[in-house]
């Protein structure tokens, strides 16, 4: 029976019943369990291997059935889930109705926020600390676990600035693996290096002990400083930058040394002021292949370990790779093209482009707002920036797209990967909103690619968009080979592209669902229905001529998108008809419903939303047989209609 | 002839032709000119009075026809405008077709970005610095002027982190007036105080001189440190926090001492590494009434100075005041209610609430992202937070509303002031997008208030929304007295409220345009048209029963909103019909067009958009006489359709 010790842990109380010596073998079992599972199904590996001891120590010292534990990003929550009653769910990691790959309050009360976007834990921790204080629950301690790449995100820094004003306990554990998701970026990354090497945890401990013995509760940091002066200061990480934010800073400690971590946390847990504990960890700790290549093993596909060789199961050619190759072409042709990523060089494919054009590929770290404004500045200076970003992270720069890009009419290009349903990452990462919020901006051109030829053509079109912003979306998926039109015609502003003819109904598909539409068309053909499929190509502006012709010829239209059906492409088609006095009783919309779709296979999620081939065929039959579709969006939202917790 | 010296300044070259001694009297004229104008028309006063010398010194030392000057927030750009050829436009400050109150590239090439939202200048400066570098324009220097409240915004901190990695000249001038818009917030504010008092500019200068004499160009800060060690460090603001971001930090200097500023800037201007100059200024400098009450005189209404008395011209009772009084009621009744502002205690009315409930009114500083996440944490802890924020600044927390609030289904309430057209502040501040981007979220309830009774009723409804997020929007305007329905019925989810009957057409008005609709109704009555007016109250969910009845009874519907017509309330009504198989040929939409609307009187802006009473009456006649409206949204956006510069 594998994992004998881990099996016995039903809840953190079981963990606290163990002796400190037993935690080491438990840590080993946890690492093995995670590695075995991720090698089968894929998932986040290196981040979880790095925080095993930190997680065990936190649960050993705090009681998070009362105290609050906030995870930043959340992709490092597997060890936490394994010791909070979810070991039995591990084999359904990231599967439909299984265990989410991120914290998920629907699974357990030990998960406070479902997160996947970085930088938020300190801010929510400050909120819970203030909330508990105002409600008189001051016995509830608050701890936030934050990585070194997240803590330099703007929201985290805003949170620290506010945390420094707290007059109560708050612990921020800085999990510093010097790695972030890719390489760390920005001046602070270099600064952390210096700090990390500034002293050993032993010296720190000795000095910290001294101070902490003398630290009465209930004191603000200022008082502490005033009262103990130098004596306090030496106990702190020398001149740690977060001191300036008003936090008592300790460390660095070795984030894999359980006895020290537990002792330190015990010293700190009741300290009545905001504290930052700087812990030094190794990303991928425990498996050489992972520590050796923590970027590849940050969130790998399934893989097989053959002795010292590791073999990643290969999937098809992804849109991400297609984008990287297309950019290498464009950048070779036009030296004004630059590409920007916010901490995702691998996820966006730019890691492949950087070696070719080291000066023109920039990684700003997890700072989407800054990256977008920097791109605006570069465009203003005369460059042609392509901000390469996941659709879900584009949401983090909404106001910068508004003010620094769209309002200025600057030609910043946005390449939005992971548009639509994303599969295993679930609700925190779907790209369900980009069409709706980007089409609000005057002069914004919105494009979608359905395969590699159209992605290349779209990027070429955007390269020519010299006096206004543009954005292209493409999914977390493989490109279909062979493409339906290997020699796809060039993009022309506001023009759709016919893929297949038919007289009974026309599907206007925006983005990759066009391929599902073609598959549905084949099925419908067997039923004797003749359906046309158009690659809509543009959500702004939509092809008003085509739409006009179809409406006037009384051809039923089905709009199709892997985006919220409310406010998205179909909504733009409705508006187009309405603004021209065209009737819409023949216009029907298919897209994502007005509710959350949780983790699972992308194919399952498409089926759930009814935008897979079967769902599309079903919708077309229904339209042709009854003349209408059942309402997709749930307009009636009594708050009580919120999905009930799973438990 | 007033302002004799100022009149002679047509461009910065004229300024540089003056002797340093002449700058002092020029500064005095600039202050007087700004104060005279703002007293007549209102506008930003104290921020501009504070930066007169900084602005003059920057233009005296740099040549911003080549070099780059980036303003943060931008409400401190009046002195800059006066010496860049726009003295003649001052008397049309914030007027239609006049001079914008914020930097405006359409007015002058000396304005690089039209801004009004805080924290962006360092990021755009870094972008321009990198852009010029890549394009080989390294002779172009870059300077960013940032206030002490903006520099703690997340985007600014992300920008500093990136700036610290630059291997070229970049100057960040920290305009530290210790005030921000309201009182400064967060731990860093206290930190700045300490720094500000740490040394005089004279000592700093003496030490800086020493170092700078030895600083060859082309060196990175690391090299400088390495080479000069302690000798360099003593020349810097002792242990300045932004050192950690990799910037060479100098100061504080007296931001009103022209000779010193000019000498220092001359020393720094060719330094080949990122530098932060910490300047200490007095907000409102030059006028006692302004320095004495910089909050009131941050952006006052027109006022009259009577000797030592200052009299603010009073306008009607604002929605902001009505909100404050309503919150005082709610907070007295329910001790779980807390109110949060991001650096706008006065603008949001919370300054009036805070004295009553000091523990339950929180100002997080200009940190909308953090404020929203903090509110989510407080809601999770069991409180009832009302995030009080301008609609345009809500855009800065879009991703936090998504992940920390909506995805969790947490009952965070958003009170969105300045929704719709905002008048003099212009395009950077219109609340044109909130309906479209908030209705994307499942389980979000969207409300609008049309006057004081409905605002109170809406807030009471939201107080009861205990298991999901909700938001109410209200305009920058006075409440109509007497209200059309002093005893307005309570809000009921998804139910509109009839205000006036009629058979020919029904206007569904979302928010304050309902009053313009009633005015139009009276005009139309004279023409013999009988028009019904409904206060729609909800944009999510919309009143599908009412809409169904109207459509089925063949009553033409005109939707009305002071929000982008694309994606907004009217779009939601179209979707509602379409999802239910109802025809939409009788549904017509009025709202903001798909182009930017610039500064001017709110009434002018409403007229331009055609949503004032006259425009509404015109639209109704057109619908009743021709059966349709001309297209409002411009779908065809060749980038070349972007409004051409004014010059």
Most B CBs within 10 Å: which of A377, A581, A636, as the mutation test of the B interface? Answer: A377
Specify whether B51 is located in the same domain as B132: yes
Residues B641, A567: C-beta atoms closer than 8 Å = no
How many C-beta atoms surround the C-beta of residue B428 within 10 A?
A: 26
**Separation CA A203–CA A143 (nearest Å):** 24
* Window from A29-33, A513-517, B203-207, B417-421 with minimum mean pLDDT: B203-207
Tell whether B641 is covered by a domain. Answer: no
Q: Which of A459, A454, A450, A457 is nearest to A327 (CA)?
A: A459
Confidence of residue B171 (pLDDT cuts 50, 70, 90): very high
CB B320 within 8 A of CB B308: no
Residues whose CB falls within 8 Å of the CB of residue A610, separated by 6 or more in sequence, listed in order? A590, A616, A618, A619, A632
Specify whether B507 is located in the same domain as B579: yes
How distant is the Cα of B184 from the closest Cα of chain A, in angstroms?
11
Q: Which of A246, A575, A632 sits opposite B579 (nearest CB)?
A: A632
- Does residue B252 have a cis peptide bond before it, meaning omega lies within 30 degrees of 0? yes
Active site residue A368: yes
Tell whether B282 is covered by a domain. Answer: yes
Active site residue A356: no
Q: Report, as an integer, the average pLDDT of B398-416.
A: 98
- Specify the pLDDT at position B213: 52
Tell whether A377 is covered by a domain. Answer: yes
- Specify the pLDDT at position B243: 81
Chain B residues lying within 8 Å of A158, measured CB to CB? 152-154, 157, 186, 364-365, 367, 369-370
- Specify the pLDDT at position B91: 96
Tell whether A159 is covered by a domain. Answer: yes
Q: Which residues pair with B146 in a beta bridge?
A: B174
Tell whether B611 is covered by a domain. Answer: yes
- Specify the pLDDT at position B288: 87
Tell whether B488 is covered by a domain. Answer: no
Specify whether B358 is located in the same domain as B247: no
Specify whether A425 is located in the same domain as A531: no
Residues B112, A382: C-beta atoms closer than 8 Å = no
Residues A373, B123: C-beta atoms closer than 8 Å = yes
Q: Which of B245, B440, B574 sits opposite A574 (nearest CB)?
A: B574
- Specify the pLDDT at position A222: 45
Nearest CA in chain B to A138: B381
Q: Is the pLDDT reported for residue B185 higher than 80?
A: no
Specify whether A30 is located in the same domain as A116: yes
Mean pLDDT of the residues in chain B:
90
Residues A188, B245: C-beta atoms closer than 8 Å = yes
Q: Is the pLDDT reported for residue B219 higher than 50?
A: no
Confidence of residue B225 (pLDDT cuts 50, 70, 90): very low
Residues A154, B369: C-beta atoms closer than 8 Å = yes
**Separation CA B20–CA B39 (nearest Å):** 29
- Specify the pLDDT at position A512: 98
Name the domain count of chain A. 3
CB B83 within 8 A of CB B15: yes
Structure tokens at A619: 């919708």
The pLDDT tens digits of the residues spanning A1-17 come to 899 999 999 999 999 99
Specify whether B185 is located in the same domain as B85: yes
How many C-beta atoms surround the C-beta of residue B203 within 10 A?
A: 11
Residues A633, B574: C-beta atoms closer than 8 Å = no
CB A616 within 8 A of CB A529: no
Q: Which residue reads 């060859």 in tokens?
A: B216
Specify whether B501 is located in the same domain as B579: yes
| Bridge pairing between strands B384-390 and B337-341 | parallel
Q: Which of B188, B365, B378 sits opposite A131 (nearest CB)?
A: B378
The pLDDT tens digits of the residues spanning B508-548 come to 999 999 999 999 999 999 999 999 999 999 999 999 999 99
How distant is the Cα of B479 from the closest Cα of chain A, in angstroms?
28
User: Active site residue: A31, A168, A396, A439, which one?
Assistant: A396
Mean pLDDT of the residues in chain A:
90
Nearest CA in chain B to A195: B244
* Window from A158-172, B38-52, B169-183, B386-400 with minimum mean pLDDT: B169-183
Q: Which of B378, B392, B333, B498 is nearest to B102 (CA)?
A: B392
Q: Which of A190, A397, A382 is nearest to B130 (CA)?
A: A382
**Separation CA B121–CA B119 (nearest Å):** 6
Specify whether B554 is located in the same domain as B460: no
Q: Is the pLDDT reported for residue B641 higher than 50?
A: no
Confidence of residue B226 (pLDDT cuts 50, 70, 90): very low
Specify whether B277 is located in the same domain as B333: no
Specify whether B69 is located in the same domain as B117: yes
Of B473, B506, B537, the one marking the end of a domain is B473
Active site residue A205: no
- Specify the pLDDT at position A539: 98
Q: Give the start-end residues of each E strand in A12-109.
A: 68-71
Residues whose CB falls within 8 Å of the CB of residue B588, separated by 6 or more in sequence, listed in order? A578, B556, B557, B558, B559, B619, B623, B628, B629
Chain A residues lying within 8 Å of B185, measured CB to CB? 162, 165
Specify whether A245 is located in the same domain as A367: no
Tell whether A314 is covered by a domain. Answer: no
Q: Is the pLDDT reported for residue B214 higher than 60?
A: no
Q: Residue B523: give its domain's CATH number.
A: 3.40.50.920
Chain A residues lying within 8 Å of B493, measured CB to CB? 636-638
Q: Which of A113, A164, A564 sits opposite B404 (nearest CB)?
A: A113
**Separation CA B215–CA B208 (nearest Å):** 10
Q: Which residues pair with B225 in a beta bridge?
A: none
Provide ipTM, 2 decimals: 0.93
Higher pLDDT, A442 or B187: A442
Q: Give the start-end residues of each E strand in A87-221.
A: 142-147, 170-176
Radius of gyration of chain B (CA): 26
**Separation CA A415–CA A400 (nearest Å):** 16
Specify whether B133 is located in the same domain as B202: yes
Q: Which of B155, B427, B635 sits opposite A542 (nearest CB)?
A: B635
Residues A191, B246: C-beta atoms closer than 8 Å = yes
Q: Is the pLDDT reported for residue A528 higher than 60?
A: yes
**Separation CA A3–CA B255 (nearest Å):** 66
Q: Which of B544, B564, B575 sits opposite A440 (nearest CB)?
A: B564
* Window from A226-230, A263-267, B504-508, B557-561 with minimum mean pLDDT: A226-230
Size of interface A-B (CB pairs under 8 A): 463
CB A471 within 8 A of CB A510: no
Residues A403, B428: C-beta atoms closer than 8 Å = yes
Q: Is the pLDDT reported for residue B580 higher than 50?
A: yes
User: Active site residue: B283, B352, B384, B606, which one?
Assistant: B283
- Specify the pLDDT at position B633: 43
Residues whose CB falls within 8 Å of the CB of residue B355, separated by 6 or more in sequence, listed in order? none
Range of the domain at B551: 497-626
Residues B635, A581: C-beta atoms closer than 8 Å = no
pTM of the complete model: 0.93
Q: Is the pLDDT reported for residue B52 higher than 80?
A: yes
Residues B116, A467: C-beta atoms closer than 8 Å = no
Residues B370, A162: C-beta atoms closer than 8 Å = yes
CB B25 within 8 A of CB B5: yes
The pLDDT tens digits of the residues spanning B371-380 come to 999 999 999 9
Q: Report, as an integer, the average pLDDT of A51-63.
A: 98
Q: Residue B444: give its domain's CATH number.
A: 3.40.50.970
Q: Report, as an integer, the average pLDDT of A25-53.
A: 95
How distant is the Cα of A444 from the closest Cα of chain B, in angstroms?
7
Tell whether B305 is covered by a domain. Answer: no
Q: Is the pLDDT reported for residue B640 higher than 50?
A: no
CB B114 within 8 A of CB B74: yes
Nearest CA in chain B to A429: B403
- Specify the pLDDT at position A536: 98
How distant is the Cα of B321 from the closest Cα of chain A, in angstroms?
26
| Bridge pairing between strands B142-147 and B170-176 | parallel
The pLDDT tens digits of the residues spanning A354-405 come to 999 999 999 999 999 999 999 999 999 999 999 999 999 999 999 999 999 9
The pLDDT tens digits of the residues spanning A411-426 come to 999 999 999 999 999 9
Of A243, A271, A288, the one marking the end of a domain is A288
The pLDDT tens digits of the residues spanning A125-171 come to 999 999 999 999 989 999 999 999 999 999 999 999 999 999 999 99
Q: Report, as an integer, the average pLDDT of A103-110.
A: 97
How many C-beta atoms surround the C-beta of residue B631 within 10 A?
A: 17
Alpha-carbon separation of residue A454 from A459, A491, A494 (angstroms): 8, 8, 15
């Amino acid at each position: 029976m594998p994992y004998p010790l881990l099996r016995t842990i039903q809840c953190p109380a079981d963990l606290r019943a163990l002796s400190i010596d037993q935690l080491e073998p438990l840590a080993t079992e946890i690492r093995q369990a995670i590695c075995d599972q991720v090698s089968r199904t894929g998932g986040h590996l290196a981040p979880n291997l790095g925080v095993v001891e930190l997680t065990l120590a936190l649960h050993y010292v705090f009681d998070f059935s009362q105290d609050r534990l906030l995870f930043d990003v959340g992709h490092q929550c597997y060890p936490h889930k394994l010791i909070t009653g979810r070991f039995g769910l591990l084999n359904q990691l990231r599967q439909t109705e299984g265990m989410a790959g991120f914290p998920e309050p629907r699974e357990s009360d030990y998960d406070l926020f479902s997160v996947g976007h970085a930088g938020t834990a300190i801010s929510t921790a400050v909120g819970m600390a203030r909330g508990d204080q105002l409600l008189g629950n001051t016995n509830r301690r608050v701890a936030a676990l934050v990585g070194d790449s997240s803590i330099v995100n703007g929201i985290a820094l805003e949170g620290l600035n506010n945390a420094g004003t707290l007059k109560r306990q708050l612990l921020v554990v800085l999990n510093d693996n010097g790695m972030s998701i890719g390489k760390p970026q920005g001046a602070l990354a270099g600064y952390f290096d210096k700090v990390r090497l500034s002293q050993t945890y032993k010296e720190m401990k000795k000095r910290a002990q001294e101070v902490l013995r003398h630290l009465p509760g209930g004191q603000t940091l200022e008082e502490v400083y005033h009262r103990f002066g130098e004596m306090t200061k030496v106990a702190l990480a020398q001149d740690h930058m977060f001191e300036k934010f008003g936090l008592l800073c300790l460390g660095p400690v070795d984030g894999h040394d359980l006895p020290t971590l537990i002792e330190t946390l015990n010293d700190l847990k009741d300290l009545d002021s905001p504290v930052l504990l700087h812990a030094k960890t190794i990303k991928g700790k425990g498996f050489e292949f992972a520590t050796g290549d923590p970027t590849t093993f940050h969130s790998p596909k399934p893989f097989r370990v053959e002795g010292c060789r590791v073999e990643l199961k290969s999937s098809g050619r992804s849109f991400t790779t297609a984008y990287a190759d297309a950019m290498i072409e464009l950048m070779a042709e036009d030296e004004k093209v630059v590409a920007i990523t916010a901490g995702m060089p691998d996820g966006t494919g730019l890691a492949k482009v950087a070696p070719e054009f080291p000066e023109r590929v920039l990684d700003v770290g997890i700072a989407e707002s800054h990256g977008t404004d920097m791109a605006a500045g570069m465009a203003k200076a005369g460059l042609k920036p392509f901000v390469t970003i996941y659709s879900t992270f584009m949401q983090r720069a909404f106001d910068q797209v508004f003010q620094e890009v769209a309002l200025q009419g600057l030609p910043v290009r946005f390449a939005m990967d992971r548009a639509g349903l994303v599969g295993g990452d679930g609700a925190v990462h779907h790209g369900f909103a980009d069409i709706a919020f980007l089409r609000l901006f005057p002069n914004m051109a919105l494009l979608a690619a359905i395969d590699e030829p159209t992605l290349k053509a779209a990027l070429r079109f955007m390269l020519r968009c010299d006096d206004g912003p543009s954005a292209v979306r493409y999914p977390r998926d493989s490109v279909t080979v062979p493409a339906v039109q290997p020699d796809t015609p060039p993009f022309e502003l506001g023009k759709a592209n016919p893929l297949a003819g038919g007289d009974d109904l026309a599907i206007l598909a925006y983005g990759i669902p066009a391929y599902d539409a073609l598959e549905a068309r084949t099925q419908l053909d067997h039923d004797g229905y003749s359906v046309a499929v158009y690659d809509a190509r543009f959500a702004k502006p939509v092809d008003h001529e085509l739409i006009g012709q179809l409406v006037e010829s009384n051809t039923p239209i089905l709009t199709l998108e892997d985006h919220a059906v409310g406010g998205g492409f179909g909504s733009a088609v409705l508006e187009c008809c309405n603004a021209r006095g065209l009737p819409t009783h023949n216009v029907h919309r298919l897209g994502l419903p007005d509710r959350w779709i949780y983790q699972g296979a992308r194919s399952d999620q498409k089926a759930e939303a009814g935008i897979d081939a079967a769902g599309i065929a079903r919708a077309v039959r229904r339209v042709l047989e009854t003349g209408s579709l059942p309402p997709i969006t749930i307009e009636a939202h009594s708050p009580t209609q919120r999905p009930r917790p799973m438990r």
